[in-house]
Amino acid sequence: MNSKIFLILLLISCQLFADWAQETLNKLSLEEKIAQLFIIKVNNSDFTNNKNDTIQDQIINSPEKMRRQETIRLIKKYKIGGVHLVCYGTISSCYNTIKKFQRLSKLPLLISQDFEWGLGMRLTDAISFPKNMTLGAIQNNNLIYDKAKEIGRQCKLLGVHINFGPVVDINTNHLNPVINDRSFGDDKENVTQKALQVMSGLQDENIIACAKHFPGHGDTALDSHKYLPIINHDLARLKSIELYPFKQLINKGVKAIMSAHIDVPAIDARPNRSITFSKKGITDLLQTQLGFKGLIITDDLDMKAITNFFKPEEIALEAFKAGNDILLMSKDIETAIKSLKDAIEKKIISETELNRRVLKILKTKQDLGLDKNRFAPNYSYKNFFTPQAKKLKETLFESSITIARDLNHLIPVQKCKRTTYIELNKTTTKEYIANLNKQVKGEQNIIISLFDLNKSDHTNYGLTTHILEFLNNLAKTKKNIILIIYGTPYSLKLFKNYKTIIVAYEDHKYAQNAVDKILTGKLKAIGKLPIKI
């Protein structure tokens, strides 16, 4: 063969079979490799004005401009691994900011977001689907898959690659302030099956699903954004309950897992030691024992469960030593990069291990196709609001409505009977209650709807003393009463004397429409309580 032809064929072969991830790793400096570990927090409002999606630098030294310049500097100087937007704004502003970052960065960025119940969880003009507790009541798990697939489709339109979901925490503690209705409930099988559907729906759209919060944040009564919660269960209990959904998702191929900022002495007995900073938890348990090979992502490293006990220069290093691959939202990126660089130079951690984790991150980007195209398709607002997405949302609410009890068989309501309808919410006054007491005296059939409930057991879920007194007195009568709860099912414990209760889970017009159909017999309530009362 002609030597010139041979060289041409060899070059073509090298291009065809080149490994972008490995080649990229080989070209990075030590600082740049370290920077690939970080997904930084960026304030979207620093980059876009929600009215016209442009920035007006009218105040030269404004805090917004200073933060904007610092973000651009970090991306350009260090080749940061990814970006997580906060102060989210609109679909359009978020899309434009992501596109700007991808243009600025020499390497493709991983873009992560918290879209547990849809883009509307963070964006002001996007669709929100029902929350996980509502979905926990649904018996047709195919609907959960459809919802996750739709969220995945919208993530791609926006330019997002990692969705921090599903939440696989089993909410066994009704006082949990931070998980609560973000969980599918307190039954491990129900939580697991629904989490598997979320995982599959996202990953079938080539969006990375991230199961959280390992090893399980469900049985806590403290918010890890403010404190370090402690879970005192032994290993037998943890394996039976908390770890169960993680193991099932690992077996089915979940691509990422987020570590929790919780203290679990049965795993690591050192005091004030979050699992995020525990080699016994992240390396020995999650990777070695449970066999997880995907991306391990820390929860936000600026949360007080971490910062109350560790100095800024310790945080990234401790998270890396524990075995995490991606370090999420460190407050001081340059300090974090320097601490890891110093640790490598002092042989506290090895550059070989750094290379292994950075290669994992780069291969993830390659698997997502970001080495070839890092940009989302051209923006079209209508693609985020398809008729199919709206119909799916309506179906999800309809499928969740639960008749908690109907001892007197009042549902559906008989058309021929005169019925009084009452709405109660946080604005209901004592004077209005006094009028209601007069109004209902001569009424036999009453429907009461409760709105504006919160998640706090300590505040009786937002129900005032005068509302509860009215409801309790009414329950003692022989009237036919249907109580409808547009809020947390945990509030059921307040209404033990009510014989007919509908749980609608959320204060949403689709939930109200579904309840109306159930009351009139046009729809059958097929939801089941996702928690034990």
Q: pLDDT of 403-432, one tens digit each?
A: 999 999 999 999 878 999 999 999 999 999
Query: Of 370, 393, 419, at which residue does a domain stop?
Result: 370
**Total domain count, the chain:** 2
Whether residue 448 sits in one domain with residue 354: no
Query: Of 313, 347, 370, at which residue does a domain stop?
Result: 370
Whether residue 311 sits in one domain with residue 418: no
Whether residue 197 sits in one domain with residue 282: yes
Whether residue 260 sits in one domain with residue 192: yes
How far, in Å, are 95, 192, 397, 424, 529 from residue 188 at the CA level?
A: 37, 6, 22, 34, 14
Specify whether the backbone of 367 is left (phi greater than 0), alpha (psi in -120 to 50) or beta.
alpha
On the question of pLDDT at 39 being above 60, the answer is: yes
- Mean pLDDT over 46-64 rounds to 61
User: Is residue 13 exposed (0-12), middle (13-18) or buried (19+ Cβ within 10 Å)?
Assistant: exposed
Rounded CA-CA distance 170/176 in Å is 11
Q: Is residue 132 part of a domain?
A: yes
pLDDT band at 382 (very low <50, low <70, confident <90, very high): very high
Which pLDDT belongs to residue 4?
A: 56
Which pLDDT belongs to residue 3?
A: 56
Whether residue 337 sits in one domain with residue 438: no
What interhelical angle do 430-439 and 465-475 show, nearest 10?
20
Do residues 363 and 370 touch, judged by C-beta distance below 8 A? no
Of 299, 295, 292, 294, the residue nearest 262 (C-alpha): 299
- Mean pLDDT over 389-404 rounds to 98
Whether residue 280 sits in one domain with residue 185: yes
Q: Is residue 58 part of a domain?
A: no
Do residues 185 and 229 touch, judged by C-beta distance below 8 A? no
Q: Is 345 helix (H, G, I), strand (E, B) or coil?
A: helix
Whether residue 426 sits in one domain with residue 348: no
- Mean pLDDT over 211-230 rounds to 95
Whether residue 319 sits in one domain with residue 245: yes
Q: Is residue 105 part of a domain?
A: no
Which pLDDT belongs to residue 15?
A: 47
Tell me, what CATH number does 170's domain have? 3.20.20.300
Q: Is residue 408 part of a domain?
A: yes
Q: Is residue 203 part of a domain?
A: yes
Rounded CA-CA distance 20/124 in Å is 37
Whether residue 309 sits in one domain with residue 409: no
**Backbone torsions φ then ψ of 343, nearest 5 degrees:** -65, -35
Provide the residue range defining the domain that includes 307. 117-370
Whether residue 201 sits in one domain with residue 306: yes
Whether residue 510 sits in one domain with residue 457: yes
DSSP code for 108: P
Q: Is residue 391 part of a domain?
A: no
On the question of pLDDT at 183 being above 50, the answer is: yes
pLDDT band at 60 (very low <50, low <70, confident <90, very high): low
On the question of pLDDT at 476 being above 70, the answer is: yes
> Around 255, how many Cα atoms within 13 Å sit in the side-chain half-sphere?
24
List, in sequence order, every beta strand (DSSP E) within 372-511: 402-406, 420-424, 445-450, 480-485, 500-503
Which pLDDT belongs to residue 220?
A: 95
- Residue 302: other Cβ atoms inside 10 A: 16
Output the furthest CA–CA distance in the chain (Å, rounded): 104
Rounded CA-CA distance 302/318 in Å is 14
State pLDDT tens for residues 315-336: 999 999 999 999 999 989 999 9
Which pLDDT belongs to residue 11?
A: 44
Which pLDDT belongs to residue 45?
A: 86
On the question of pLDDT at 383 being above 80, the answer is: yes
State pLDDT tens for residues 242-284: 999 999 999 999 999 999 999 999 999 999 999 999 999 999 9
Whether residue 159 sits in one domain with residue 308: yes
**Backbone torsions φ then ψ of 33, nearest 5 degrees:** -65, -45
Q: Is residue 85 part of a domain?
A: no
Helical segments of 217-350, H only: 235-240, 244-252, 279, 304-307, 312-322, 333-345
Which pLDDT belongs to residue 416?
A: 78
How far, in Å, are 54, 202, 381 from residue 378 at the CA level?
A: 18, 21, 10
The angle at the Cα of 494, spanning 490 to 500, to the nearest 5 degrees, equals 90
Q: How many helices and strands in the chain, by DSSP H and E?
A: 19, 13
Do residues 261 and 276 touch, judged by C-beta distance below 8 A? yes
pLDDT band at 438 (very low <50, low <70, confident <90, very high): very high
The answer to whether the Cα torsion of 61, 66, 72, 73 is positive or negative is positive
Rounded CA-CA distance 365/20 in Å is 10
On the question of pLDDT at 47 being above 90, the answer is: no
The angle at the Cα of 499, spanning 497 to 504, to the nearest 5 degrees, equals 105
Q: Is residue 110 part of a domain?
A: no
**Backbone torsions φ then ψ of 325, nearest 5 degrees:** -90, -45
